[in-house]
Amino acid sequence: MFKKDITSGAKSKVKSSVQRTIRQKVLDAYPLLEPYIEDILPKKEQLDLVKLPDRVSLYTLQSTPLFFQHMDDAILPHLTIVHRYPNCFPRLRIDRGAIRFVLSGATLMAPGLTSPGGRLPGDPNDTEGRYGKEELEAGTPVVIEAEGKETACMVGVLKVGTAEMKKTKKGQACEAGHYLGDGLWTLSL
C-alpha cells in the first residue's frame, strides 16, 4: 500500500466522540490490547487524523503514528505500536528466505508461512503458544514476524484462512499492508 514514499495530506483534529468509536473499534479488533489502551489511546488526549494518499487515514497522537485505515477496512496498527506491544496481536511467522521479499513490499505468499521456518497457529514446533492455537479466518489483520528476529516486520490482512493455507500451501497469503521501511514507516510528521 505504501511502496512509494508518501507525503502526508491535511491534518485535522478528531472529535472526541469519533475518538471514542475508534477506541472501541481498536479494542474490538485487538482485545488483548485492553490493559494498555489507556497508554496507547488516552481518553483525554487529542487524536489527530492525517490524510494519506489512496484514501488512507492515519491516526496520530502528537506526531506519533498509531493506527491507519484504508477507507472502512480493518483498522491496522502502525509497526511502532506492534514493536511496543508485540503480544497483543494475532501473529504469524515467516521463514528467513521470505524476509527480503517482504521488506521490498511483495505480497506475502503461503510457502513462506508453511515452510519449517514459518509459523502458523497451532504449529507443533511452537511450544510457547506464541502464535496461538485457533485458526484465523481470511480478512483477519495479522502481524508478521520473522524467523530469528524479535521484532515484527509487517502488518497485513489475511487473504486466505490459515486452515486452508495449511492445506494448499500455495498462493497469496497476506496482503502487504505496512512493512518495515515503506512509505508509512519513513513518513515524518
Nearest CB to another protein, comparing residues 103 and 138: 103
Q: Which of residues 20-59 bind another protein (CB under 8 A)?
A: 35-36, 39
Residues of span 130-169 touching another protein by CB under 8 A: 130, 147-151, 153
- The C-alpha atoms of residue 2 and residue 11 are separated, in whole angstroms, by 18
Q: Which is nearer to another protein, 72 or 128 (CB)?
A: 128
**How is residue 118 written as a grid cell?**
514459518
In three-state form (DSSP H/G/I as H, E/B as E, the rest C), the secondary structure along 152-180 is: CCEEEEECCCHHHHHHHCCCEEEEEEEEC
Looking at beta carbons only, is 95 or 123 nearer to another protein? Answer: 95
> Of the two residues 7 and 17, which places its CB atom closer to another protein in the complex?
7
Residue 102's H or E segment, with its range, is helix 96-103
103 counts as binding another protein under rule CB under 8 A: yes
Using CB under 8 A as the binding rule, whether residue 117 contacts another protein is answered as: yes
User: 178 near 3, Cβ under 8 Å?
Assistant: no
Pairing relationship of beta strands 141-146 and 91-94 according to DSSP bridges: parallel
Which residues contact another protein (rule: CB under 8 A)?
35-36, 39, 80, 83-87, 95-97, 99-100, 103, 117, 128, 130, 147-151, 153, 180-181, 185-186
